[in-house]
Structure 1
Amino acid sequence: MPALPLRHTLLPALLTLSATAHAVPITENLDVGGAIRARFDHDPDRKIDKAGLDTIMLRANYDSDSWIGAVRYRFYGKAYPYQYTDKVGDIQFAEYAWVGYKFDENRQVQVGLNKIPFGLQPYFGSTFYETLGNVIGLEDVEAVGAKYIHQQGDWNLQLGLYGRPAWPGRGTSNGTTYSSVVTSADDYVANGSRNQERQIAVARLARSFKLGDWQSEAGISGLTSRLENRDTHDDGRRNVIGVHYLGKNGPWGVQMLAARQQMSPRNPDNSERVTFGGYDGTYNVASRGNLYVGDLSYSVPGTFLGDWVSGVTLYGNYSRFDKSASGFDSSERFILGTSFSVRSFYIAVEWLNGRNDPYIGGSSYTESLAQGGTDHWENQLYMNIGYYF
């Protein structure tokens, strides 16, 4: 009897796990757990119809009156889009790993691999797939250093000093990190650069307030760092400034962000490209450009199907990266999606649309965020099913 396709075997296996797996409390302050996620990709134009294991994650969290900490580690491999590897674990890296101290309920410090405090937190919108801010190295970025968080009434101040981006993990590429970070180009990246980012300083100041019926937050963020070029041995800089707004009115949510990224790499060919990497790949990004993000969401109240389905959210997210160099085409991403929980499972279903987007529709992976790739809209369907324990 032939084996069933993976799409018929994976979901029942996850459903079986839901009846037995759970987080393990070690003490009243420490618990350990993780997640098993599956992904489904459908792109008829490229004849892609894939289903398989996405990620295995392990985590630990510690929280006491004074000391806090968290670590999460991810494993990938074998299944699409990593079908070129032999087994799960051939690609692996830490997402975060830090310890912290709470001076009081309003002040804390975190040391280690932690999220840089830039823009909307923790993400630039409601999407699972994230925005173009992620692939140009601004959204959901972890770095190695210290972060100070201070809440004073309606004001929130976060300051970060980082020596370097995330430590490299394991894979087949130079880009073996969870975050998209400045990385030396792999051989397949034409016009790639060999830079490394050091001495990263980040500041974020935000204020909560009421705007009519909207509970709101507005803020400003700044980032500056040193770019060391491994070929010329000269130092350039990376400077970013951004403003954001977040609003909530009942079930409705709005998020907006605008940021200017300006990098001055000392590349030997004076090119206006900086190579970034992550998730076992490297690609070029235009050295100068503006990022715009807008997100609208609606949280559907109540539960459905006998309380099996809850937390239903509908959302639309648009992001655009306008590049300053002449002849460099803008990159755009538009996502319509929904997320919800089915008992212990978290599910996201998204219609992905991209133009000059390295991850959508088969545009040039290495050049879409620089000079450009497919300069017309492409689309595909994506679903992620995760059991978190």
Structure 2
Amino acid sequence: MTKLSKLTLALVLSGLTSTSYAADLDTLQNQLKQLKQQMQLLENQLIEEKSKQQIINKKHEQQVAEISKKADTTTLAVAKTEKKDEGIKIGGAIRANYSVTSYDEDNEDRNGDFDFDIFRLNVSGKINDISVNGEIRFFDYMTVVKYAYLGYEFADDWEAQAGITQVPFGNGPYNSHNYFFSSNYYIGLEDDFDLGVVVKRKLKNNWKLDLGFFKNDELGGVDGSASDKSHRYSYDIVGSRSASEGTYAEPANELGEYNTFAGRATYQIEHSKNITTDLGISLLSGGLHDGVDRAGSYGAWAMHLDSQINNWNIQLQHGEYDYDLDDQSDRISVAAYAYFDTVASKATMSSVNVAYNYSVEWGPISALQFYNDYSTIYDKSDDSADTWMNITGVSVSAGAFFTYFDYVQARNQPFIGGTMIGDGDTERRFNINLGYYF
């Protein structure tokens, strides 16, 4: 082949290659254009689907909100219905007592005695915004009503109670931690219940206020129809005590409390999340009646402190009581638990209590409270010896069971081998009170 022929062939081949390359490039460009169109179409479809989903989600949220609103309304209506009429609940307790005492030689010889204590029934509940509360106690030797009252919340944070209800005085509801209370209980100034009306202001802005008016004691006063004035739960004045009468005799000169006013105000100081202190003052004033005419007056005052410091509880209380009788008697007769006793008509009272709460998981046992309660009554108007009582113990919570283990040392103390007007020796009592609550 000549040089000319070779050159011609090369030019032909080169032209063919360029033509093929151009065709391929056009095809590729067309495919890219179609791909872009498809991508734009897909993007438009995605935007449309997203918009539809947003509309669906919004409708779903509205439906959920509407359902929730209806549920809240229904729940509120049910709550209001339940609050309006909760019905009456019945509960109670059965308690037994074991004790070893230093003042009963026969008891010591037997290494103590185990006795039935009480069977009690409680009712509580609310019907048409009126609360119903009551407790009746059955002992071997008597049956008594501890309390029975109706309650009504007539305004925000205000409640009225009418019936046999607790007299507001001192640290509440108890100025003690043990089974035997403090010495104040045995002169009618702790856990006392009388017949009247109490208005209670719940804790608000750190203030709490209880005001009460009591027409007479729970048995109807001096002219009450009770067959035995000593059959009652809490201590009340039942007569003046003449020098010729025995300490435990039924009084010849009967008296009854009437038109008693009582008030208690407390202010809570919040030191921190788990530390609070309630500072308070209590006042009480009333009349004494002999069934014919007014026979005297009585009154009492107390300053008190109740402080919760994490697991610790500290109670302090100090005050005086004064029963001013027209017959100038220095002693009065009081009654409770089916017997009469005697106390000085005027005295000073003080108490110091410390307790520690301890949570545990020991089988059925869930909580322990260790305590030491000390109380004394002194400067008595009849010049009788001082009364004091110290109780060291622990209470145990185990499901439906609640038990007190108390070691009591006392002098001139009722239920510990003495009386408020006595001059006896220091006595001791180890006591276990076991209760089943239902």
**TM-score range normalised by the length of the shorter chain:** 0.7 to 0.9
Match of 2:400 in 1: 344
Instruction: Return the alpha-carbon distance in structure 2 between the equivalents of residues 281 and 195 of structure 1.
Output: 16
Tell me if 1:59 matches 2:122. Answer: yes
Q: Deviations over 1:4-29 (max 9, x none)?
A: xxxxxxxxxxxxxxxxxxxxxxx843
The count of corresponding residues between Structure 1 and Structure 2 is 339
Aligned to 1:334, which of 370, 382, 390? 390
After TM superposition, give the deviation of residue 154 of structure 1 in Å: 0.7
Distance 2:225 2:115 in 1: 21
The Cα of 1:259 is off from its aligned counterpart by 1.3
Separation in 1, partners of 2:236, 2:436? 28
Q: Give the direction of change, closer, same or farther, for the CA distance of 1:273–1:154 in structure 2 (3 Å limit).
A: same
Task: Report the AA paired with residue 280 of structure 2.
Answer: G
- Pick closer, same or farther for the CA change 1:214–1:378 going to 2, 3 Å: same
Superposition misfits of 4+ residues, deviation over 2 angstroms: 63-66, 168-174, 184-194, 210-214, 232-235, 323-327
The offset of 1:327, in angstroms, is 2.7
Match of 1:244 in 2: 304
Aligned to 2:434: 385
Q: Which runs of 5+ in 1 are unaligned?
A: 1-26, 78-89
- How far is the alpha carbon of 1:342 from its aligned partner? 2.1
| 1:57-90: CA deviation from partner (whole Å, max 9, x where unpaired) | 011101367311201000111xxxxxxxxxxxx4
Alignment partner, residue 150 of structure 2: 99
Match of 2:325 in 1: 265
Corresponding residue to 2:184 among 115, 119, 133: 133
**Alpha carbons 1:309, 1:341 under 8 Å: kept:** yes
Q: Is the 8 A contact 1:346 1:385 kept in 2?
A: yes
Cα 1:65–1:296 shift into 2, 3 Å = farther
Report the AA paired with residue 145 of structure 1: G
Aligned mate of 2:423, from 354, 366, 373: 373
* Residue of structure 2 in register with 1:5 after alignment: none
What is the match of residue 198 of structure 2?
147
SS at match of 2:359: coil
* SS of corresponding position for 2:174: coil
Matches within 5 A, 1:166-177: 166-167=218-219, 174-177=229-232
Provide TM-score, normalisation by structure 1: 0.82
1:326 deviates by: 5.4
- The letter for the 2-side match of 1:325 is S
Decide whether the 8 Å contact of 1:92 with 1:170 is kept in 2.
no
**What amino acid does structure 2 have at the position aligned with 1:129?**
F
For 2:91, the equivalent position in structure 1 comes to 33
Residues 227 and 171 of structure 1, relative CA distance in 2, 3 Å threshold: closer
**CA–CA distance in 1 between the matches of 2:240 and 2:119?**
27
| Matched residue type, 2:232 | T
**2:285 corresponds to:** 224
Larger radius of gyration: 2
* Residues 31 and 60 in structure 1, CA contact (< 8 A), matched pair in contact too: yes
- Assess if the C-alpha contact under 8 Å between 1:170 and 1:176 holds in 2: no
- Measure the CA separation in 2 of the matches of 1:66 and 1:387: 30
Tell whether the 8 Å contact from 2:231 to 2:337 is kept in structure 1 after alignment: yes
Letter aligned with residue 295 of structure 2: D
1:379 aligned partner, one-letter code: R
Q: CA deviation at 1:218?
A: 0.5
Q: Give runs of aligned pairs for residues 147-226 of structure 1, distance below 5 A.
A: 147-151=198-202, 152-167=204-219, 174-184=229-239, 189=248, 192=251, 193-211=253-271, 214-226=275-287
Per the TM alignment, residue 114 of structure 1 is displaced from its structure 2 partner at its CA by: 0.3
Q: Relative to 1, partners in 2 of residues 1:300 and 1:65: Cα closer, same or farther, differing over 3 Å?
A: farther
Distance in structure 2 (CA, Å) of the matches to 1:281 and 1:58: 23
The CA RMSD measured in Å over matched residues stands at: 2.3
Q: What residue in structure 1 maps to residue 169 of structure 2?
A: 118
Q: Deviations over 1:335-355 (max 9, x none)?
A: 001101122111001011111
Check conservation: 1:172, 1:280, Cα contact below 8 A.
no
Distance 1:272 1:75 in 2: 34
Unpaired segments ≥5 residues, structure 2: 1-84
Q: Which amino acid aligns with 1:220?
A: I
Residue number in structure 2 paired with 1:316: 372
| Contact preservation (8 Å) 2:344, 2:382 | no
Q: Give the aligned residue type for 1:163.
A: K
| 1:44–1:191 Cα change, 3 Å | closer
Contact 1:69 1:98 in 2 (8 A): yes
CA deviations over 1:152-194 (Å, ceiling 9, x no partner): 3210111000101112799995311111111147975369552
1:255 deviates by: 0.5
Residue 103 of structure 1: CA displacement? Answer: 2.1
Q: Deviations over 1:112-169 (max 9, x none)?
A: 0000111111111211210111001100000000000113321011100010111279
C-alpha separation between the residues in 2 aligned to 1:44 and 1:261?
A: 31
